[in-house]
Amino acid sequence: MLLRHKNIILGISGGIAAYKTPDLVRRLRDEGAEVRVVMTQGASSFVTPLSLEAVSGYSVTSEILDRQTESAMSHIDLARWADVCLIAPATAQIIAKIAHGFADDLLTTLLLATKAPVVICPAMNMHMYQHPAVQHNVAQLQARGCTLVGPAEGVQACGDVGPGRMVEPLDIIQALSQQFEPLILQGKNVLITAGPTQEALDPVRYVSNHSSGKMGFALAEHAARLGATVYLVTGRVHLPTPSGVKRIDVVSAQDMLSAVMDYVDQADLFIGCAAVADYRAADVQPEKIKKSASTLHLELVKNPDIIQTVAALPRKPFTVGFAAETTQCETYAKDKLVSKKLDMIALNNVSQPEQVFGHDDNALDVFWHDGSQSLPRTSKSALALQLLRLISQRCLQ
């Protein structure tokens, strides 16, 4: 129970998902946490302060200019009291305010005054969430070190279907618990590859795959939070760089190998999470290939096997591979573990419709030479943390 005796400020903004917050407070109390609720003016339209006072055991505050409380500068006291600040639900409005440093109510003032980590759970219409302005604000907050949890996908109150739902209370609790994880990777250098590679055919076309990079980025984010110095070598993906992570952008498999070799000598742990193209064009055409026939024949040659190259080094780091398989999954994964001389391999069964590239959740079967463990389906963020715990148990023995 990592939240036991932790002080949590729950900031509630004015979205329909606020109806979930009494249950969230109750579950946080069940974990042993102390919870103080701060509401925006709009939040009270969706949930009453009285219901939140009943489950939290504290009075609910919303006004910064309350003469009875502000005579003692209570907003500063709250900012100092907090071990973590949770904003759930976080509307587009409150996200914009936090991103740009507004302090026009109690909640935003607290967030400027506190040194506690901030966890944000977006909740809004899918089109609002996908708007470039909101995405810019979200990326800015992540770059500043705030943790984003969600949004989840599904049917929304307005009838739209897509990303924008606030994640469920149990998922929020898991994300909060991660803020207090022991620094099991402190002092370690971790090198991670992520995303797809692109292999050029001509100036406008390339061969690639559907990897989103989400798993590799989640691993990098949590490794940094667990105390590691993290180097992330990534193909072309549209994901913000996790806080505290050194990012190296590459395009092709050969680019990725070159970048990996630049950093591998100092790595204690290497995780090959990238979906590296197995083949590239034998000859990249200098001009666009014209559509002149009904068929086109391309000669492809094998790309370097990055993880096998790392595992064969005289002084190799603890090396973890990923296997994305559709048939005979366990057999192929175990074969790769042995043939490539890996220390551990994580199997991703992509034959399952719900476990294809690009999803926000997944499940893994992890194998090493004298054991295995299944990690059930959950968010890629939670899965990354579970995998890093497992790796730590093996490589730090």
Instruction: Give me the active site residues, please.
Output: 158
Tokens of 272: 């090959």
Work out whether strand 344-349 and strand 361-368 pair parallel, antiparallel, or are unpaired.
Answer: antiparallel
User: How far apart are alpha carbons 90 and 111 in whole angstroms?
Assistant: 13
Q: Which residues, at least 6 apart from 48, have a Cβ–Cβ distance to it below 8 Å?
A: none
User: How far apart are alpha carbons 170 and 176 in whole angstroms?
Assistant: 10
The b/e string for 161-171 (b: 16+ C-beta within 10 A; e otherwise) is eebbbbbebeb
Contact 344, 391 (CB under 8 A): yes
Tokens of 371: 């054991």
Q: How many CB atoms lie within 10 A of CB 345?
A: 26
Tokens of 16: 């329909």
User: How far apart are alpha carbons 126 and 149 in whole angstroms?
Assistant: 15
Compute the Cα dihedral for 332, 338, 342, 343 and give only its sign.
Answer: positive
Alpha helices per DSSP H over 207-273: 214-225, 253-263
Q: DSSP class of residue 32?
A: T
User: How far apart are alpha carbons 24 and 128 in whole angstroms?
Assistant: 24
Strand pairing partners for 35?
8
